Structure 1
Amino acid sequence: MLKDSLARNSVLIMLSTVGTSGLGYLYWMVAARELPRPAIGTATALISAATVVSMIANLGLGHMFIQRLPSTASGAVGGSAAWSRIVSAGLLIGCAATAFASAAAVLVLPRLAGNFGFLDGLSGAAALIVTAVALTASMLLDYVFVAHRASQGMLWRNLALAAGKLTALAGLTAAGWASASAVVLAWTVPSLLVSIYTLRWSLRRLRPGWRLGGGGLGAELRHVRGSMTGHHLVNLAQAGPAAVLPVLVTARLGAAENAHFYVAWMTASVLFMVSPAVAAALYAERTNANARSASLPRASLVVLVVIGGPAVVLFLAGGWILSLFSPAYAVAGGLLLKILVLAAIPDAITNLAVAHWRSTGRLRRCVRLNLVMAVSCLTLTWWWLPSWGIEAAGLAWLSGQSLGALLVAVLAGGDRYAGRIRAWPRSTALAVHDFFVDPVRRAGSLRGRIAPRPRQPRGGARPLLQPAVRGRPDLRLPAGSRRPSPHSRPRSRSWRVP
């Protein structure tokens, strides 16, 4: 299995996710035991808003890295100078766009929902901007490692990041800082430090000669525009609902209910992170010329093997796991966790389908599929939250993913049927086409067709090629000989037999 590049990088990405989630459990467990629920709700609302802003403003640069960096690493497109230009321009443009979008969110969110009033202060605005920029930088650096199929760098980076968050939170709470600011600081500062370390040392080991600089921004804007109109739209429609759901819960139900929702959502995210990890590895494999294991059945098998056991454990023992935070979280989020576990199956189907279609260039199909799921999920969440509570978000997520899986089955069946028709002989394809054309059009298409020439008998004399000319003997072909091709026949009566 370690010799299989797809499986190896998928496992490394999932180990990064599992390790980060495990340390994240401890992080939020410390926060739940040391801080009141309103403070946790405020912190999770700010982190969720920063996640949404980062996702909108990263411009799809991560997938642009996957597309372009492998060719420069092999020396085909300019070596380390081109590699440095692509990475530097992507990081600078992504972080600048995130800072601008965060400032806009600080102005808009408190006016749209009163529960985001904590952003009106200077400290709240600065926390949102810094957290969103840190998330964008961390995400783009992860994609650099994925693009080179060196996911072990991503693994160690994220483990160090999660351990730093846990250590910082434990230190702040031990010092008596029991507020939402402690959670946000412990979340953001280690992310910035690990990103600086990655820029200074890790990328240099990944690509000798790497250098951070601002040159070549104008040349890279053309590629950024291409990623915005293609992969970025796919990413927004695909990952948008997962990031927006906590924001909707906060806006409709308040920060305290969002704390219950966020803990259950974070617990179920162990399952939701598996299929995106395999999908990213599948796409990275298919962009590499030397990849041989990038098949959809193999990726599906990896997801099934990894996701099966944890799904059963979470479904049967999810309440006990939530009670580790506090009994109130188990009571409020037990049913929601079961619903989210069921949604992991259609979520895996849609993620792998999108990765497959993305690698074949059918980005419009990916965007339309993800938009259908996103609109249905967010609309149902907004409608159902006041009546059904936080379980409404889980039901809406399950409904949207199930609808997407159904559409994937329909589209895959249509592709298979279309390929079968193209493989038929020409006469059969015409017969199928004529069968589906209405009688009026079929009758009109038959007008003006030339009737086929009747076949001549093989025995006996052939007819004259032209009427006999006086003074010349009749020209007849021997019996059984082939008839001359049409272009060899005489065109006028001036023709004479030699």
Structure 2
Amino acid sequence: MTTDEHQEHKEHRRKLRFLLRSAASLASTTVITAGLGFLYWALAARVFPAASVGEASTAVAAMSLIAPLTLLGFGTLLIAELPDMTEGRSTLVSTAALVTGLAAGVVAFGGALAIPGDFLGLPGINRPAVAAIFAAAVATQAVGLLLDQALLSMDGGVIQLRRNLIQAVVKLILLAVFALTLVKWGALSIFASWLLANVVSLAVISVVLVRRYRVPVRRLIPVPRMLRGLHINAARHHVLNTALLVPYFAMPIIANVILGSEMAAYFYAAWSVASFVFFLPLSLSTALFASGSRDSRTFTLEFRKTLRYSLLACVAANLVMALVGRFVLHIFGENYAEAGFTSLIVLCVGGLGLIVKDHHVALARVTGDVGRESLLVAVLSAAELIGAALGAMSGGLTGLALGWLVAVVLGAVLYAPRVWQTYLGRVVVAPSGAAVP
């Protein structure tokens, strides 16, 4: 092996370690937050009235929906932009965080005043004071998500893991404190623990980043001109991100509207369990995008590895769910296992199609073909929802899952040629990030 070949081999191993470390951090974040989240809601259910828990969980769901939809595309845009910048990174991140936080806060505050309170959960949310609390929580949630995404290509997901761990632990501690002191405020005190935990996690991580990179305070002052020329690309990323997110949040709504609240509960349980089959492949494709944004010279090799690892992980997860899925659903209740098991298996099989979709999206992001990808994903995401709705009307809960699966398979068929060409090396990603047929 020549010196150049040895150096190239070392560089490839370094990039592969970054890729796998990023994916592991993303997957660990999901597992840890899910586990601590289970403890959080279990504690809430023990010490607060059921009505308060229901109101708070509705408010948290609304926050979790609004926050990613108000990132304005800056999160994924910064994944691609930051590695190539030689200066001004901290100023760009702080400026994007300010714009994102303001957008999220304004949308949340306006929605709290205009939307019927039952949709957002918190009692009295149509009053300005409560609406302001909701808006602050959504704003801090959005800024946290922005930092998680923006820094992914810089540190491989370590910051994301730490911030989410801090947020989850602080939130759990605050809930215990509020249960002893502010229990009379019910849902509002539960929700306040999320807001304050967001603030603490952002403050701690900001201090860590400033010290690690020795960033002068003056460079943290937002400068609007830093976003000049980025707004069009940010808008494209925003459309793509929204198209990817909508099916995840809309599927339970379709179940509720067409099948009723009881069947919707069974579906939500199956959908939540199936998400554990989806998250590892999604972590790998996200890490692929982050790694390709840093250096696309070995993108094809990494693409092959993540595609193989994702398919292997998904097949293994499907086999596990076939064996233990009914038992897992039984934790929710006997009726959940009886009504939702078949749907769970169908949804898990759909994870194989989502792998093809996620890799197609990662390729488009690295090559800068986000605009066309946004349109394609938007159309196929709409097809997923239409398929689910038609399936629900004709076949109930199982029909809903099958209708969604048919649409996912259709999407995979359309995504597959480009993915397969890239896997074979027929689409070469140049160092500039452009795709060369």
Taking structure 1 as the reference length, the TM-score comes to 0.70
Rounded Cα–Cα distance in structure 1 between residues aligned with 2:111 and 2:68: 13
Is residue 143 from structure 1 mapped to residue 149 from structure 2 by the alignment?
yes
Deviates more, 1:346-355 or 1:31-40: 31-40
Equivalent in 334, 342, 366 of residue 359 of structure 1? 366
Check 1:333–1:170 CA distance in 2 against 1; reply closer, same or farther (3 A cut).
farther
Quote the offset at 1:320 in angstroms. Answer: 2.2
Quote the offset at 1:371 in angstroms. Answer: 1.2
Equivalent in 398, 406, 409 of residue 402 of structure 1? 409
Is residue 125 from structure 1 mapped to residue 131 from structure 2 by the alignment?
yes
**C-alpha deviations, 1:126-172, integer Å up to 9, x for none?**
45423321221111111233020332222222222223333444554
Contact 1:37 1:259 in 2 (8 A): no
Map of 1:18 onto structure 2: 31
Map of 2:251 onto structure 1: 245
Map of 1:165 onto structure 2: 171
Rounded Cα–Cα distance in structure 2 between residues aligned with 1:152 and 1:8: 9
1:369-380 matched pairs, under 5 angstroms: 369-380=376-387
Rounded Cα–Cα distance in structure 2 between residues aligned with 1:413 and 1:84: 38
Rounded Cα–Cα distance in structure 1 between residues aligned with 2:39 and 2:323: 21
Map of 2:291 onto structure 1: 285
List alignment gaps of at least 5 residues for structure 1. 421-498
Contact 2:58 2:121 in 1 (8 A): no
List alignment gaps of at least 5 residues for structure 2. 1-12, 428-437
Deviates more, 1:46-55 or 1:340-349: 46-55
Deviates more, 1:139-148 or 1:385-394: 385-394
Check 1:192–1:321 CA distance in 2 against 1; reply closer, same or farther (3 A cut).
farther
Greater C-alpha radius of gyration? 1
Quote the offset at 1:291 in angstroms. Answer: 6.1
Equivalent in 292, 317, 322 of residue 315 of structure 1? 322
Quote the offset at 1:326 in angstroms. Answer: 4.7
Rounded Cα–Cα distance in structure 1 between residues aligned with 2:205 and 2:306: 29
Map of 1:191 onto structure 2: 198
Rounded Cα–Cα distance in structure 2 between residues aligned with 1:17 and 1:322: 19
Check 1:412–1:314 CA distance in 2 against 1; reply closer, same or farther (3 A cut).
closer
Check 1:142–1:414 CA distance in 2 against 1; reply closer, same or farther (3 A cut).
closer
Rounded Cα–Cα distance in structure 2 between residues aligned with 1:388 and 1:124: 42
Structure 1 letter corresponding to 2:271:
W
Check 1:246–1:47 CA distance in 2 against 1; reply closer, same or farther (3 A cut).
farther
Contact 1:275 1:352 in 2 (8 A): no
Structure 2 letter corresponding to 1:207:
Y
Equivalent in 80, 100, 111 of residue 67 of structure 1? 80
Contact 1:354 1:366 in 2 (8 A): yes
- Cα RMSD for the two superposed structures: 3.6
SS in 1 for 2:230: helix
Structure 2 letter corresponding to 1:266:
S
Identity %: 25
Contact 1:52 1:244 in 2 (8 A): no
Is residue 8 from structure 1 mapped to residue 13 from structure 2 by the alignment?
no
1:93-132 matched pairs, under 5 angstroms: 93-107=99-113, 109-110=115-116, 121-122=126-127, 125-126=131-132, 128-132=134-138
Check 1:243–1:291 CA distance in 2 against 1; reply closer, same or farther (3 A cut).
farther
Check 1:233–1:115 CA distance in 2 against 1; reply closer, same or farther (3 A cut).
closer
Contact 1:275 1:303 in 2 (8 A): yes
Map of 1:345 onto structure 2: 352
Contact 1:41 1:259 in 2 (8 A): no
Rounded Cα–Cα distance in structure 1 between residues aligned with 2:396 and 2:190: 25
Quote the offset at 1:62 in angstroms. Answer: 0.9
Contact 2:21 2:156 in 1 (8 A): no
Deviates more, 1:366-375 or 1:343-352: 366-375
Rounded Cα–Cα distance in structure 1 between residues aligned with 2:317 and 2:242: 27
Quote the offset at 1:94 in angstroms. Answer: 0.6
1:331-480 matched pairs, under 5 angstroms: 331=338, 333-382=340-389, 394-412=401-419
Structure 1 letter corresponding to 2:202:
S
Contact 2:79 2:149 in 1 (8 A): yes
Rounded Cα–Cα distance in structure 2 between residues aligned with 1:296 and 1:257: 39
Rounded Cα–Cα distance in structure 2 between residues aligned with 1:34 and 1:394: 36
SS in 2 for 1:4: helix
Rounded Cα–Cα distance in structure 1 between residues aligned with 2:366 and 2:205: 28
Structure 2 letter corresponding to 1:121:
N
Contact 2:92 2:226 in 1 (8 A): no
Check 1:89–1:8 CA distance in 2 against 1; reply closer, same or farther (3 A cut).
same
Contact 1:62 1:140 in 2 (8 A): yes
